[in-house]
Structure 1
């Protein structure tokens, strides 16, 4: 789970980078469709109730919406947040998604990183990289050339895993007809799988770890809250990039040029405002002002988190913003 979180936070930083804002296409509306005969030669950022990608995108697809459907050919990454996500066709690099229900029937050249209530790789899916998933129910019917690391309630496998499998299930692990693991199997469950060694499902070594106690309900709620928080940050960051493009770029450039001063002021505000709020709660007459100050502080802190993501992404990729280019 820790690795999944790290990857998701890394993705949030990537999404908020403004280096390629001018090159990318931004599509916003109630319903968006890229036709099967359409070709887009840039990255695309989409935000809509319903999004369909049926054509060719020679770049990344980054989408936030209720229903996301991709039947086309994407040259680079597909990154999406939604209620339902369905991906067919082909993806030239990674898939990174979070949704209540995610279904993949595509050929993917890179990795699949998925989180949600239900995640399913259909029979037709071919994942040439690794699969990292966390969900209530995870179903792997397709072929995975790399390794699988999965954490969920119910885990069901009928496909072929080319390397190792690391499975952690709070309820059950089921291997159906056709399931094969060509590497090692390491699994954690409440009970050991009966006769797993005799069924010739696993080519390598098998190791089992028993779950000593059932996971508490709040741990699942905590994960869903983190997932919701992550999705909200993506949407807010995307809207800021679209509607406040110049302000975002200028603010990040200013922070980079006056980093020491920005850090000092930020640290002072981060520490000082909560102290002022606590002091204001001592006297009845200043309680309303203290509560208002607290709300403003939380809003500003949330927005600052997005700017920090942009700045960190800039440093990670070591690429200048447009206004900084010689």
Structure 2
């Protein structure tokens, strides 16, 4: 049910930009009114402070406004985003609504589904929805006639009308009071009075559900004696958290051991492939810790910018070869750009997950073991193994793990940036640079 609800809400956002190929009109202003004797052919898009539609729209109606009143005949779909949304007329296809207060008023007829999100949804008595209702928000009051299913995720809900098929709903704890939204949260409502709904799920006398009732709530639903539920009733009560068992602690211990081994192996891979770069970057962090840390605030966003530049190569390189009009080079350029993009993204992800932590751990190990630069792979690996013990332990501490990870990220990226700048401005290796020992 959660997957279905999420898919519908995502679909609401995406489909807001999709409409059948037909003529379209665009209106804007402080107040836009479609009179009762007006007929608009094709789709109509409106951007305004206040919108009143009393006439006929043969296509879709798409509105972005603070207050919307749809009291006419909309033969297509209805897509609205606003503070107050009042529907009193007819809608020929699916309605997708997002707002603080949504009211499907008496006499309204929605031929398709109703997909909505917001603070409050009310389907008043005398209103009809011929399809499904999907809603996510704070409260829902369903007093009209809904032909098919209802899926909802709310804090509180009340059913006093009829649902033709299944009701599947998630509600909050039944320990509060009826309450309107805080007056300071939004601008004052003008056209809609919000209903006051009891906490949890309430099914009133006279209500009817033609299929199964499935609800997830900490409290049992209040189903009054005159309510009718045709199908089975399933109450899914959230389980209270339990203390971890001894086996859970054992599993946690082994998880940390596996995490340590994984990070150690990935760090050794970095040392084997780039020993000189690794050793000199650690030197920069040890010699200039504060500058390296501050440089991390610049290096991290620069790496992300570099990602965008690398992505641009996928377009720029083929275009460049295309300008040269050499046969086959456009395709080769695209392949080269894509390959370079994969290498850059892979390297960047590796450094985010493992590389920065590796440099930080080697730095810790070097501070403990020696004040001199470490040049051999074996000593870099020893420093890594020792420093990683501290890193893994610190990242297991609640509330401290995020800070340790961020600090390692800044030190790693900052140290790498300092090493690159040093190489650029010093013109290569320095006299005091340690000689790399390839053997252990």
- TM interval, short-chain normalised: 0.5 to 0.7
Given the superposition, is the C-alpha separation of residues 281 and 72 from structure 1 closer, same or farther in structure 2, using an over 3 Å criterion? farther
**Which is richer in helix?**
2
Please give the alpha-carbon distance, in whole angstroms, between the structure 2 residues aligned to 1:65 and 1:281.
Answer: 47
Paired position in structure 1 for 2:121: 119
- Report 1:282-297 matches (<5 A): none
Which structure would you say has the larger Rg?
2
Please give the alpha-carbon distance, in whole angstroms, between the structure 1 residues aligned to 2:153 and 2:229.
Answer: 19
Q: Which of these residues, 146, 152, 165, is aligned with residue 144 of structure 1?
A: 146
Paired position in structure 1 for 2:65: 65
Residue 192 of structure 1 deviates from its aligned partner by 1.7
Paired position in structure 1 for 2:228: 201
Paired position in structure 1 for 2:239: 212
Paired position in structure 2 for 1:101: 101
TM-score when scaled to structure 1? 0.65
TM-score when scaled to structure 2? 0.49
Residue 197 of structure 1 deviates from its aligned partner by 9.1
Structure 1: tracts of 5 or more residues without a match: 215-253, 287-326
Given the superposition, is the C-alpha separation of residues 18 and 268 from structure 1 closer, same or farther in structure 2, using an over 3 Å criterion? farther
Residue 134 of structure 1 deviates from its aligned partner by 1.1
Given the superposition, is the C-alpha separation of residues 271 and 35 from structure 1 closer, same or farther in structure 2, using an over 3 Å criterion? farther
Size of the alignment, in residue pairs?
A: 242
Please give the alpha-carbon distance, in whole angstroms, between the structure 1 residues aligned to 2:18 and 2:113.
Answer: 21
Residue 183 of structure 1 deviates from its aligned partner by 1.1
Q: Which of these residues, 218, 229, 237, is aligned with residue 190 of structure 1?
A: 218
Residue 280 of structure 1 deviates from its aligned partner by 8.4
Residue 5 of structure 1 deviates from its aligned partner by 2.9
- Report 1:37-56 matches (<5 A): 37-56=37-56
Is the CA contact 2:205–2:224 (under 8 Å) kept in the aligned structure 1?
no
Superposed CA deviations along residues 113-162 of structure 1, whole A, max 9, x for unmatched, are 11111110011210111111111010001011111111101101100111
Residue 188 of structure 1 deviates from its aligned partner by 1.2
Counterpart of 1:8 in 2: which secondary structure?
Answer: helix
Moved more, 26-35 or 6-15: 6-15
Is the CA contact 2:166–2:212 (under 8 Å) kept in the aligned structure 1?
yes
Structure 2: tracts of 5 or more residues without a match: 174-199, 242-318, 320-329, 350-409, 421-440
Paired position in structure 2 for 1:176: 204
Superposed CA deviations along residues 269-322 of structure 1, whole A, max 9, x for unmatched, are 9949x88xx8986659x9xxxxxxxxxxxxxxxxxxxxxxxxxxxxxxxxxxxx
Given the superposition, is the C-alpha separation of residues 13 and 268 from structure 1 closer, same or farther in structure 2, using an over 3 Å criterion? farther
Given the superposition, is the C-alpha separation of residues 271 and 55 from structure 1 closer, same or farther in structure 2, using an over 3 Å criterion? farther
Residue 62 of structure 1 deviates from its aligned partner by 0.9
Superposed CA deviations along residues 189-239 of structure 1, whole A, max 9, x for unmatched, are 112236x4965521111111113359xxxxxxxxxxxxxxxxxxxxxxxxx
Please give the alpha-carbon distance, in whole angstroms, between the structure 1 residues aligned to 2:161 and 2:119.
Answer: 20
Counterpart of 1:139 in 2: which secondary structure?
Answer: strand
Counterpart of 2:14 in 1: which secondary structure?
Answer: helix
* C-alpha RMSD of matched pairs (Å): 3.6
Please give the alpha-carbon distance, in whole angstroms, between the structure 2 residues aligned to 1:91 and 1:61.
Answer: 9
